[in-house]
Amino acid sequence: MKRDKPMDATGGPSRPARRDKPQGWRAAGPAGPAPRPARAAEPPHKAATPSFRGSSADISVLYGFHAVREALRAGKRKMFDIYATEAAAQKLAPEIAAAGLTARLVAAEDLSRRLGPAAVHQGVMLEARPFEALDISDIAPESGVVLVLDQITDPHNVGAIARTAAAFRVDALVMTERHAPELTGVLAKAASGGLEHVPIIHVVNLARALRALKDQGYLRVGLDSEGESTLTDAPLSRPLALILGGEGKGLRRLTRENCDLVARLDMPGPIKSLNVSNACAVALALVALRLGA
């Protein structure tokens, strides 16, 4: 016989009375809730994120071991801060101390974030003041040779030329204000410290600068693969201004017109022209052989 279910006052099935749970009560499983793991402490040797100076016209950023080392040794710039990994700081410790600086230790990743992933910083970066602007009249004729760059725009080329110029004790490097790379970053790295030893002169009008060099007694020799004579046979004398044309376009018309002569490099192989930085090195070597170092 089917039994009727007990009914409550609303006409629904009657339910057992609910017992009130004590305040703060919670059900416990066999082991209770898992404890929250403690937060790991930061390792005591970890340095805080470095605070770099922002980019500006008043700050030159140099990176790479040789570029920074030569800047420290030469002491021609006002230097602000040097950031280095522990290994790089140890290698440069004598130069850093002599310059009156204290290395700010950073991780290599910090420098890569500041300079960009493509920068080969070798664990060191220097923030310094750019060199003061110079004029043609400021050239000190020690070796009696200057290089003039006619709108060479690749920073790797200009850096390599500056490095070669320092190796041959060139008195100055003359280049245009426009259509020329900044003297920092990639260029300074490619120069491997050459910027610290060769005065750089920026000019607004290259043709006018060449006329000024003529007034100071310079023989102006343009270098071009279509030159009328070879650099080996050309009549050379000091003081000498050797003029190099831009990548792909060579010497511009006004530049060529302000040369006393245009010479070429005779190459024995099937390729008759060289990259401008390589041509510069060959030309300076020939000049040194002909006129003496």
Domain(s) of CATH 3.30.1330.30: residues in the chain:
60-128
Which of 35-39, 54-58, 102-106, 194-198 has the lowest average pLDDT?
Answer: 35-39
Q: Which fold has domain 60-128?
A: 60s Ribosomal Protein L30; Chain: A; (3.30.1330)
pLDDT tens-digit map of 164-213: 999 999 999 999 999 999 999 999 999 999 999 999 999 999 999 999 99
- For residue 84, pLDDT over 90 is answered with yes
Report, as an integer, the average pLDDT of 250-275.
94
Report, as an integer, the average pLDDT of 12-34.
44
Q: What's the pLDDT at 56? A: 64
pLDDT tens-digit map of 115-159: 999 999 999 999 999 999 999 999 999 999 999 999 999 999 999
Domain(s) of CATH 3.40.1280.10: residues in the chain:
136-291
Q: What's the pLDDT at 18? A: 45
- For residue 41, pLDDT over 50 is answered with no
Identify which of 243, 284, 287, 281 has the alpha carbon closest to the alpha carbon of residue 262: 243
Q: CATH 3.40.1280.10: does it fit domain 136-291?
A: yes
- For residue 162, pLDDT over 50 is answered with yes
Identify which of 205, 160, 144 has the alpha carbon closest to the alpha carbon of residue 179: 205
